Structure formats: structure tokens, C-alpha cells
Amino acid sequence: MSNLNQTTLSNRLQSFWGFGNYESKYWFIGMEEGGGDNIQEVSKRLSVWEKFGSPELIDNFEYHKGISGYGYENHFEGKIKLQPTWAKLIRAYLNIENPNRNYSADDIKKFQAKYWGRLNSNNCLLDIFPLPSPSANNWHYDKWCEIPILRNRDTYKNALQSERVNTLQKRISTYKPKVVMFYAFGDEYLKFWEQVAEINFTEKNNYKIFRDKSVYLSKKDESIFVVTYQPSAIWNNEYWDNVGRFIYTKL
């Protein structure tokens, strides 16, 4: 089996951040891009990113259109299929913008197809780590390349996390988004978010918003920083509606 393009992969490690618009009000920050089940798909993702000039941010629709053949185009064209993670984040977003209506699946689909992660949008979708992976338990890059830091997930994270955290801090300081939403609970993730936001998330800024489920929320300078669950951990729409409504009350 041939390896991934080493130069493009190295550039991606240094330069790729996600989708959308740094100038937007709303930033959503997760751990890593999904997908990447096989070397052919990852190679296509890398080549499409390189085709667009290897930017920090790429247009979500154009990128996924470029990697068509893996089902992602269904999130934007034709009979739209909701992307599970995006759908919950979009629901929170829409409720921040207007908490006084109920949003249907069709509303979410329309927003996903037209506005989610677009270069001219009012949202920005970022990740702490730059490589796609189907799950936190999967790691294939040691078989697909010879870059030492990609020997395993731990060497990868240890090599990149400090620089990536520092860069996110700088981007937030420069662009001053109104809301930065981190989506993933758990001790490891919370430490990342605390480093990026330079805030301690404690019981003092933890708020129950749906049954026994909560968010962390704290203001700093011109931004509100929020920590939610990873969308795959909470499917109930009411939690995500309430996330947006709660943020709205703090703006």
C-alpha cells in the first residue's frame, strides 16, 4: 500500500484549522475532524485541501464537494442528510440567534446546506488537532506515513498540543468572537479548553440546563466561553435548544 503524501501531510499538521470564517461571531471548537476510515479517503481530503491552497480555513461545502464519493455531498445537496454532530451545534447556534421559535429538522438541514462552515458565514468550525479520524480509538497514520510524531495518538497529541493551543489563543485574541463553544466534556478535554480560554471551568461556572445535564459558561474580555457535551453523547434536541437559549441570555 502506498503512503500518504508526506509533504502535504506535514503541511496539514502545521496549517489546517477547519472551516468557516474567523471574522464570525460564533466559533465551535472540537477535537478533530471525523472521517478518514481508509487511506484513499484521507489522501483525497489532503489533496482537495492542497488544491485550495492549503489554507487555515476552507469552505465546508466546497471541501466536501471535492471529496465526493464518500457520502458527504449528501449533507449539502439533493435530499439533505443531517450530519449528527453539526445538527446539534446548528440547533444551539440558531437558538443563540433567535430563541423565540422552535426549529425543525428541515430548518437545520437548510442551514447546514447553505451556511454551515462557509467562508462568508457567521460561524467558524475549528479543531484542536488537524487530522481526520473516525474515532478516538482509531489510529492508522503509523501505517500510512513515516512521520515520527504520527507513530501513535499520544506522540501526535504531545507534539502538537502546546503550539495548537497557543495559536488558538492568538486567533481568539485577534478576532474576538462573541461566543466560543467547546464541545466535549471529560477531564482531558476540559484541560484543553481551559488552556485555550485561559479560564478555569469549575462548579462555580457550571450550569444545569436540561435535567441533570449542564454546560460550563464563563465570560472573559469580549467573549463568552462555553463547554458542552460532545453531540454524540446527548441526542436530545432540548439540551441543544437550551444551550443556545442560555447563551442568548448572557450576550
Q: What is the pLDDT of residue 99?
A: 98
* Amino acid residing at 103: Y
- Domain definitions of the chain by residue range: 6-250
Instruction: Count the residues in the chain.
Output: 251
Which residues in the chain land under pLDDT 70?
1
Q: Answer whether 220's CB lies under 8 Å from 199's CB.
A: yes
Residues paired with 206 in a beta bridge? 216
Query: Could you tell me the fold of the domain covering 6-250?
Result: Uracil-DNA Glycosylase, subunit E (3.40.470)
* CB crowding 38-59: b at 16 or more within 10 Å, else e: ebebbbbbbebbeeeeeeebbb
φ/ψ of residue 110, rounded to 5:
-65, -40
Nearest to 106 by CA among 123, 72, 81, 74: 81
* Alpha carbons 94 and 97: distance in angstroms, whole number: 5
Q: What's the CA gap between 197 and 225, in Å, rounded? A: 7
* Helix 84-97 vs helix 237-250: crossing angle, to nearest 10: 40
What pLDDT does 249 receive? 98
Helix H, strand E, coil C: the string for the chain is CCCCCHHHHHHHHHHCCEEECCCCCEEEEECCCCCCCCHHHHHHHHHHHHHCCCCCEECHHHHHHHCCCCCHHHHCCCCCCCCHHHHHHHHHHHHHHCCCCCCCHHHHHHHHHHHCCCCCCCEEEEECCCCCCCCCCCCCHHHHCCCHHHCCHHHHHHHHHHHHHHHHHHHHHHHCCCEEEEECCCHHHHHHHHHHHCCCCCHHHEEEEECCEEEEEEEECCEEEEEECCHHHCCCHHHHHHHHHHHHHHC
* pLDDT of the residue at 217: 98
The pLDDT value given to residue 41: 94
